[in-house]
Amino acid sequence: MPVIDVHTHMLSEAWLNDIRAHGAPKYGVKPTAAGQDSVWMSGAPFVTLFPEMFDYDLRVANMDKAGVDIAIVSLTCPSAYWGGEAVSTRVSREMNAHMAYQQGRFPDRIRFFATLPWQYPERAVEVLAEAVVQGAVGVFVSANIDGKSLTAPQFAPIWQAIDDLALPVLVHPTAPQGSAEMELHEYGLVPPIGFMFDTTLAVSRMILDGFIDRYPNLAIIAGHGGATLPYLAGRLDRCHEMIPACSEKIKDKPSRYLRRIYYDSVVYEKNALDLCIEVAGGPERVMYGSDYPHNIGDMAGCLARVNALDPAAAKLVKSGTAQKLFKL
């Protein structure tokens, strides 16, 4: 059975240069106090940059070392959510074309998630159609779009277009709304805490808003093992039972909706992966992911935790679920 990585990223030098040119005042590129080049957001380091993020030949070599066969690559935050309509649309198209080119170079190893200018729904729907023709097998979206919730009405045309195509969507965190007020710049709290909060809030909104019922063909993938959703499933159910606002739009328990979405295996403890699989309703809802090439990404470690599962479950997580979902 092949090993398919559904949560792994690649950037481009053109994308980085566009952030330098058009990302201000929110985004910029400069070294950290430790001398590491990084994308900065609102005056704080946000994404640490590494050569592996730009080099597909090195990526494939590292996949070989780790025992990974196929990578479904995606851009990372802040995606193309900056620069205005013209820049955001152009950057999205250029990133999709770049990933399609790399897929052509490595047809047996690389697939990609489409980048969209989400702030501009009409343009986003156009770019989506183009990306599918180029070979995109899914869509990447941040858990909030420059501070806007994914359930905001302005994004409905994009979600409808994705639903019509029945494409998987990787919901990936960024700095959550209110990061400055929560002082997440201290101690580097955005990746360990802020990201988990962002995904948890986004998917919880989707559930309680009735979003998942409105778009039945969507395959939502909650990044990083669903963040804290597996741990909070029982609390969501209790609040649905006892708090009217939590049951205003849905009748089923939130935990039942948690069995209708998908998860990756980007967790760092085997017990966390076990809990994710339990809450998901089984390994057929969980897929291998690595978060390579971020500094906390771990191709080999994430795969080792998957391999430690029951063999039948491990086969599904490594490739069986992804092959079916992405039609690979």
Instruction: Please tell me the distance from the alpha carbon of residue 235 to that of residue 5, in angstroms, as a whole number.
Output: 31
Confidence of residue 276 (pLDDT cuts 50, 70, 90): very high
| Residue 132 falls inside a structural domain | yes
Model pLDDT, residue 53: 97
Check: CB of residue 319 under 8 Å from CB of residue 288.
yes
Instruction: Please tell me the distance from the alpha carbon of residue 270 to that of residue 179, in angstroms, as a whole number.
Output: 29
| Residue 168 falls inside a structural domain | yes
Confidence of residue 123 (pLDDT cuts 50, 70, 90): very high
| Residue 173 falls inside a structural domain | yes
- Per DSSP, the three-state class of 308 is coil
Omega within 30 of 0 (cis) for the link into 117:
no
Query: What percent of the chain is modeled with pLDDT above 90?
Result: 89
| Residue 31 falls inside a structural domain | no
Model pLDDT, residue 121: 98
Check: CB of residue 259 under 8 Å from CB of residue 280.
yes
Model pLDDT, residue 33: 81
Mean of all residue pLDDT scores within the chain: 96
Domain that holds residue 218: 4-12+51-326
Stretch 14-37: mean pLDDT: 93
Its pTM stands at 0.96
Instruction: Please tell me the distance from the alpha carbon of residue 325 to that of residue 38, in angstroms, as a whole number.
Output: 34
Residue 146: CATH number of its domain:
3.20.20.140
Instruction: Please tell me the distance from the alpha carbon of residue 302 to that of residue 268, in angstroms, as a whole number.
Output: 7
- In the chain, the number of structural domains is 1
DSSP E strand stretches across 223-298: 262-264, 286-287
Summarize pLDDT for 229-247 with one digit per residue, the tens: 999 999 999 999 999 999 9
Model pLDDT, residue 133: 98
Among the residue ranges 27-31, 51-55, 223-227, the one predicted with the least confidence is 27-31
| Residue 249 falls inside a structural domain | yes
| Residue 46 falls inside a structural domain | no
Summarize pLDDT for 46-97 with one digit per residue, the tens: 899 999 999 999 999 999 999 999 999 999 999 999 999 999 999 999 999 9
* DSSP string covering 23-55: -TTTEEEEE-TTS-EEEEETTEEEEE--GGGT-
Confidence of residue 194 (pLDDT cuts 50, 70, 90): confident
Model pLDDT, residue 97: 98
Stretch 202-220: mean pLDDT: 97
Statement: residue 45 has pLDDT above 90: no
| Residue 281 falls inside a structural domain | yes
Model pLDDT, residue 208: 98
| Residue 166 falls inside a structural domain | yes
